[in-house]
Amino acid sequence: MQITLETKPYASLETDALVTPVFEGDDPVQGRVAELDQLTGGLLKKLAASGELTGKTLEFTLLHTPAGLKARRLLLVGAGKKDQFNVATLRKIAGAALRSLKAKSVSNFAFLAGGTLPVADGSQAIVEGLLTGDFETDKYKTDKKDKKIESVLLAGFPENAAEEAQKGMSRGRIIAESQNFARDLINEPSNKLTPRVLAEKAQAMAKDAGLSVDVLDEKKIADLKMGALLSVAQGGPEPPRMIVVTYTPANAKPGAPVIGLVGKAVTFDTGGISIKPADGMEKMKYDMAGGATMLGTMRALAALKPNVKVICVVPATENMPGGTAQKPGDIQTAMSGKTIEVLNTDAEGRLILADAITYAKQLGVTHIVDAATLTGAIVVALANINVGVFGSADQSWTDKLLTSAKATGEKMWQMPMDDEYREFIKGSFADIQNIGSGKGGGSITGAWFIREFAGDTPWIHLDIAGTAWNDDAKPWLAKGPTGVALRTLVHLVLSQ
């Protein structure tokens, strides 16, 4: 999809549709909407008076052949209250407008920027919304609807702000295309995306992006004594992989941190011997969303070129219930030497992250963020609204991530990590056990298990189990994978 900055007067744009946000208030016909009202002969004030145009968030009002405009349609999209307007709202408006117009077989339109956001932030949010909204999950359908948005004009920015708008547009495209790269991986069925195929796709991405990559096969994994990862992989015929992608800046700042991005990639999770219920198990193809998100983040960072080194480590495996699978009660030895009593084989993500984090530390990372579809418990706590955030004793590192989440408009909520929860994973027959012994707090005990391997290294765990997948389509996003946390992670790294 071509997205172009347009500085000509919006009334003269010959396009299938002109889209503009409308703010909620006693009188929504204000500012640019008031200009449009004058051009259309007072029609918008009449619609507002009748209650048809209110500006409530994502309320759509579509006018055909509007007087005073060369555009064939005028789409007014509710932006909510002006004092609550942010990049997340603008991103949703852009995505929702695109999906609505695409469904009506519109092939091109102009988006009229508005609001109080800085120009670069606004143009970036619009482009992100357009590109992520355009992503569809019908790759394997043979009767795909042949509806496509060919081009979008971004209008309404002041002429003297063109350079800033272009900067935002460029950054928005990089981030959105990287998010869609991750979403495409997440959406792949497990017969198409095995650990070996994921490693091949990571290698191809790294080569295209100019990143260095190393893939450890099962022999190297065994040589490094990654017993936790091997224990999960042993139940099926597919061998595991440990994927390492590295970005090294041309001009690293002296004393700058080396950031480790670690992502769980269970390409299919049956639960192992502790097998999951059949209902909904097909979605366990997205149990590699954390790994895909980290690979997408690296793709974006390669183009945005931060001044800090970033090492991405993705442990990839299936979790199968074959005759060689590990069993409840088995004791495994992780790469760190710590012993683990496996009480539930469906708590496997924390096992593979244990070895990945140990390896990342061995590679020299000084600060870690991991992302994983780790627990159903986080869905109970936060539903599908917020990512669960868990941090080590270094609260300053966690605060930086939360600041980045707020700046990018991704909802994240910090969960408690009190020392009392550590007692829940104290092992009876090994150093630690892989599920908590108490009732409740499952997402916290899962995080505590991972923290055991992070040690004193500043560390953050993102539990994205409730937010990595949309069970239903949103007005601004297709059903399926979301690519959640990628924007936050990119912002976090760039802010260092």
Q: What is the pLDDT of residues 335-361, one digit of tens each?
A: 999 999 999 999 999 999 999 999 999
Share of the chain above pLDDT 90, in %: 96
What pLDDT is recorded for position 115?
Answer: 72
* Residue 248 resides in a domain: yes
Instruction: Report the phi/psi class of residue 3: left, alpha or beta, with left for phi > 0 and alpha for psi in -120 to 50.
Output: beta
What digits encode the pLDDT tens for the residues 245-281? 999 999 887 888 999 999 999 999 999 999 999 999 9
Instruction: Please give the helix or strand (H or E) that residue 315 lies within, else none.
Output: strand 309-319
- Same domain, yes or no: 470 and 414: yes
Last residue of a domain, one of 127, 156, 185: 156
* Residue 314 resides in a domain: yes
* Residue 161 resides in a domain: no
Q: Mean per-residue pLDDT for 167-195?
A: 98
* Residue 164 resides in a domain: no
- Identify the domain containing residue 351 by its residue range: 176-494
Q: What mean pLDDT value characterizes the chain? A: 97
What digits encode the pLDDT tens for the residues 43-85? 999 999 999 999 999 999 999 999 999 999 999 999 999 999 9
* Residue 169 resides in a domain: no
- Same domain, yes or no: 260 and 404: yes
What pLDDT is recorded for position 495?
Answer: 95
- Same domain, yes or no: 185 and 249: yes
* Residue 466 resides in a domain: yes
* Residue 162 resides in a domain: no
Last residue of a domain, one of 156, 187, 207: 156
- Same domain, yes or no: 105 and 189: no
- Same domain, yes or no: 133 and 186: no
What pLDDT is recorded for position 255?
Answer: 85
Active-site choice (56, 72, 167, 276): 276
- pTM of the entire structure? 0.97
The enclosing domain of 254 has a CATH number of 3.40.630.10
**Band of residue 143 on the pLDDT scale cut at 50, 70, 90:** confident
Alpha-carbon distance 291 to 312, whole Å? 9
Residue 99 appears among annotated catalytic residues: no
- Same domain, yes or no: 215 and 119: no
* Residue 73 resides in a domain: yes
For residue 303, count other CB atoms closer than 10 A to its CB.
Answer: 15
| SS3 call for 366 | coil
Cα angle, residue 202 at apex, residues 198 and 206 outer, rounded to 5°: 175
Tell me if 304 sits within 8 A of 490, measured CB to CB: yes
Active-site choice (173, 241, 309, 350): 350
CA dihedral 28, 32, 33, 34 (to 10 degrees): 90
- Same domain, yes or no: 316 and 209: yes
What digits encode the pLDDT tens for the residues 204-242? 999 999 999 999 999 999 999 999 999 999 999 999 999
- Same domain, yes or no: 460 and 489: yes
Total domains in the chain come to 2
Residue with tokens 């999809």: 1
Residue 56 appears among annotated catalytic residues: no
- Same domain, yes or no: 201 and 148: no
- Same domain, yes or no: 35 and 110: yes
**Band of residue 159 on the pLDDT scale cut at 50, 70, 90:** confident
What digits encode the pLDDT tens for the residues 23-41? 999 999 999 999 999 999 9
Alpha-carbon distance 230 to 354, whole Å? 12
- Same domain, yes or no: 146 and 209: no
